[in-house]
Amino acid sequence: MLKIENLEVAYGGIQALRGISLEVPDGKIVTLIGANGAGKSTTLRTISGLVKAKSGSVQYDGKELLGLPSNKILEAGIAQIPEGRRVFPNLTVLENLKVGAYLRSDKAEIEKDIKWVYELFPRLEERHWQLAGTLSGGEQQMLAVGRGLMSRPKMMMLDEPSLGLAPLVVQDIFSIIREINRQGVTILLVEQNANMALKTADTAYVLETGVITKSGTGLELLNDESIKEAYLGKTRT
């Protein structure tokens, strides 16, 4: 289980997170929704070790993660799929998957996992020789998710996987996320597409300018009046 307590992060003088606490239980899908600049990406980047925290704690299975370099956090079993896909455009699809397994040296198992990713995303197998930069946006997102799986994470954090994708493709991505979760990977999902995220999640947190203002099951928040107004586009009647 991932447990965040009183996490504070500041960029220069700007407070991005003002002491948030949240929990991601094993095997669940947890989502963090909120507007631009609420601190969603900062939360994920702090967990991954890309951003230094000011205070607080991030524990995974009782082990403190704050202060560890990114590769140790990946070793602990937490992978992040960065916002905007960030596949390596100059590497082939297959190489991108192999980079995902950079920390591993068990060749036979890596081959197995590549097959597993190809089963989840048959499109990637068709295009395994292509440079990742030539893929469409949806395919790049699939590749980013596949690459994240290659480290065999216990928990996967996705930063706005629906960003810039057509609605049908978004549906695909979300059904893949559910499938990955069924196969035993815990999911921490950051989204602006609150509707999709809340429908998918077991637990949801709402983040507003660095503070968690609401939490509950996905269904509860989906039916919450203030959430409907702020994030789901319902107008006051």
> Which residues lie near another protein (CB under 8 A)?
48-50, 70-71, 74-75, 79-80, 82, 86, 88-91, 95, 98-100, 102-103, 131, 133-137, 140, 147, 151
> In this structure, are residues 9 and 50 in contact, taking their beta carbons and an 8 Å threshold?
no
Judged by CB, which is closer to another protein: 140, or 203? 140
Q: Measured between alpha carbons, how far is 110 from 129 in angstroms, rounded to an integer?
A: 17
Judged by CB, which is closer to another protein: 50, or 176? 50
> In this structure, are residues 224 and 214 in contact, taking their beta carbons and an 8 Å threshold?
yes
Cβ-proximal residues to 235 (8 Å cutoff; 6+ apart), any chain: 229
CB of 104 to another protein, least distance (A): 9
Sheet bearing 78-81, strands edge to edge: 78-81, 155-159, 186-191, 29-33, 203-208, 211-217
Q: What tokens appear for 199 in the block?
A: 């429908």
Q: What is the helix, strand, coil percentage profile of the chain, to 5?
A: 40, 25, 35
Judged by CB, which is closer to another protein: 74, or 117? 74
Judged by CB, which is closer to another protein: 47, or 206? 47
CB of 82 to another protein, least distance (A): 6
CB of 47 to another protein, least distance (A): 11
CB of 19 to another protein, least distance (A): 25
Judged by CB, which is closer to another protein: 134, or 226? 134
CB of 163 to another protein, least distance (A): 11
